[in-house]
Amino acid sequence: MRATVGLLFVSLVGACAGDVAPARPARVGLAKYADAVDWKAAGEETAGLLAEYLKVDTVNPPGNELRGARFLAERLQREGLEAKVVELGAGRANLMVRLAAAASTEKPLCLLSHLDVVSAEDAQWQHAPLSGEVVDGYVWGRGALDMKGMTAVELMTVLQLKRRAVPLNRDVVLLAVAGEEVDSFGMRAAVASDWPGCGGVVNEGGIGLKNLLFEGQTVFAISVAEKGALWLRLRAKGNAGHGSVPQPGRAPMELLKGAQALLGREAAPRVHDAMYELLRRAGAQAGGVPGFIMQRPALVDLLVQGKLLSKPTTRAGITDTCQVTGYSGIGTSVNVVPSEVYANVDCRLLPGTSADAMLAELKDRVKDLPYVSLEVVSKLESNGSTWDDPLFDALARNAVRGRTDAIAAPVLSTGYTDSLLARPLGARAYGFIPFEISQEELATMHGKDERVSVANLQRGAEVLFRAVVDVAGSP
Ligand SMILES: [Zn+2]
């Protein structure tokens, strides 16, 4: 059965897909630094550090990231590392520390994270969001995954580089910024006046997900690109009046027509090269007929695209999307028609769709509605980094090190992170939290019971350290 179907597909598409491309090999003579670390002890130390850090309240709004920055600065100072805390006013701050190379041959490698976390409904949690409790092998608290756990792993990486006096061929910078969860306040400040000139960036974005495409296979997703965001206000203005007599030109009803016109957009699917590459790598390891199909973009378009379109999460990965995210206006009485109402519209754009192009398309859709207008609230263009890159390869190779049931592959993120602000400054930015979690654990990010296992902190610390040494160390 398998062979027959396989032959049919070969005759359909002709070309062969080939194996998973061999990543760049590890650089010679560097493994010794990681091999000398007691990773069990380092994992426990990372867990202890995170447990304390989770107790530091940096819920945004208001942020209070200065507390988080001081906490990290104090940990660094204990080991003789002088961190720079850049105060941004009203209790807010960024933190930066640099391990300098004797002679740099490349721009710095930056380990980026954000200091703030989103709010949590305390009563819903098994262990309070600011408790930092360690129970049943997990460290509990808001930010365990997004993203204080990653900051702890990045901090441990810097501490190990310092403790082992690893010679560097480029500077390694730890940069923790304020405000990512609301408006990228800290990153905007860093970019404007304190940018360390990163050549490579490791940030949040992707993570390892168990059973993502195949039962028993883990996909370590490394984000290489992010969709852009066009935020709009769809506004309707008309005459105020009485609710008893419907009339044309009344703002609330005209707004619905405008929203309807926007919803009439047919989303044309466009599969990003990262998606083809992820399917190719997953398919090559899984084998069988599904694996055969997934390794061939032409067959993916023919046979898989429909499936991708049928699920909201994957649909958002291959189309430009717009949705109404809320309504507001003047007046709340049921029997009074207000003169003005508006809807918030959040559009997310694939690489290749500019904000202006989407705006023009949407304006065209409402052009025959005289009471309706569209205003731009903000726009951020999509961007991405190539995955043909030593840092990407080092992250991918170490994520799956010693594993035959896991792949690492590039992805396009539907949401954006601070990486979107780093790339225009010349950095290749990769979003990768080196933990391996279930869908259930993933749902705790911004939800309740956020936690990370001590085992993940141990493995994550080792993966990141090995990757950093591989691209920034000298034998
Ligand atoms: Zn985050």
Cβ–Cβ < 8 Å for 190, 175: yes
For residue 327, give both structure tokens: 């309504």
Residue 146 Cα, ligand 1 centroid: separation in angstroms? Answer: 5
d(CA 456, CA 156): 13
In the block, residue with structure tokens 């028609």: 337
Q: Considering the chain, what is the average pLDDT of its residues?
A: 93
In the block, residue with structure tokens 């897909």: 17
Residue 180 Cα, ligand 1 centroid: separation in angstroms? Answer: 7
Residue 114 Cα, ligand 1 centroid: separation in angstroms? Answer: 7
Secondary structure (DSSP) of 194-246: -----SEEEEEEEEEEETSSSTT-EEEEEEEEE-EEEEEEEEEE---EETTS-
225, exposed or middle or buried, with CB in 10 Å at 0-12, 13-18, 19+? buried
The residue among 11 and 113 whose pLDDT is bigger is: 113
Question: Which CATH architecture fits 231-380?
Answer: 2-Layer Sandwich (3.30)
* pLDDT tens, residue by residue, 295-315: 999 999 999 999 999 999 899
pLDDT confidence bin for 22, thresholds 50/70/90: low
Residue 372 Cα, ligand 1 centroid: separation in angstroms? Answer: 35
For ligand 1, a single-atom ion, the residues with CB < 5 A are 146-147, 204
Q: Quick one: pLDDT at residue 160?
A: 98
- Topology of the domain comprising 31-226+383-472: Aminopeptidase (3.40.630)
For the chain, give percent helix, strand, coil, nearest 5: 40, 25, 35
Q: Quick one: pLDDT at residue 352?
A: 95
Q: Taking 50 as the threshold, does the pLDDT of residue 471 lie above it?
A: yes
For the entire predicted model, the pTM comes to: 0.91
Residue 6 Cα, ligand 1 centroid: separation in angstroms? Answer: 42
Q: Cis (ω within 30 of 0) for the bond into 358?
A: no
pLDDT confidence bin for 21, thresholds 50/70/90: low
Residue 460 Cα, ligand 1 centroid: separation in angstroms? Answer: 17
Residue 98 Cα, ligand 1 centroid: separation in angstroms? Answer: 22
Give ∠ CA 188-467-33 in degrees, rounded to 5.
125
Residue 446 Cα, ligand 1 centroid: separation in angstroms? Answer: 9
Residue 291 Cα, ligand 1 centroid: separation in angstroms? Answer: 32
Q: Quick one: pLDDT at residue 16?
A: 38
* pLDDT tens, residue by residue, 121-148: 999 999 999 999 999 999 999 999 999 9
Q: What is the domain partition of the chain in residue ranges?
A: 31-226+383-472, 231-380
Residue 10 Cα, ligand 1 centroid: separation in angstroms? Answer: 43
Instruction: Report the candidate in 470, 459, 471 with the shortest Cα–Cα distance to residue 403.
Output: 459
C-alpha dihedral, 129 to 223 to 173 to 457, nearest 10°: 40
Q: Taking 70 as the threshold, does the pLDDT of residue 325 lie above it?
A: yes
